Amino acid sequence: MTDNWGDYFVVKAKENGVNVIGLTRGKDTRFHHSEKLDKGEVMMVQFTEHTSAVKIRGKAEIMTPFGTMNTED
Ligand code: TRP
């Protein structure tokens, strides 16, 4: 197993109350962490041993190795 779980990506909140939700790796996929960002706040996130997916709720810009995208306004 690698200790490099992948590239970071960046979430920039475009409104108050954007949620960055981490989902667990393994047999069950469930929420394990929810981080609330206010407008202009930036969070750097990475996939880890514990986190296999991330869900972003609210208006945000997401910068990833695949490109930059926005959630629907
Ligand atoms: N303790 C979590 C982990 O190591 C922290 C984390 C990493 C996280 N990436 C995340 C939380 C993405 C929310 C979203 O997996």
Q: pLDDT band at residue 7, thresholds of 50, 70 and 90?
A: confident
- pLDDT per residue as tens digits for the range 30-71: 999 999 999 999 999 999 999 999 999 999 999 998 899 999
Q: Which residue segments constitute the domains of the chain, with CATH numbers given? A: 9-70 (2.60.40.50)
- pLDDT per residue as tens digits for the range 11-34: 999 999 999 999 999 999 999 999
Please state the separation of Cα 49 from the chain's center in Å.
15
Cα 48 to Cα 1, 6, 17, distances in angstroms:
11, 8, 24
What is the pLDDT at residue 16? 98
What is the pLDDT at residue 66? 87
What distance in angstroms lies between residue 18's CA and the mean position of ligand 1's atoms? 16
Which ligand 1 atom sits nearest the alpha carbon of residue 51? 15
Which ligand 1 atom sits nearest the alpha carbon of residue 48? 15
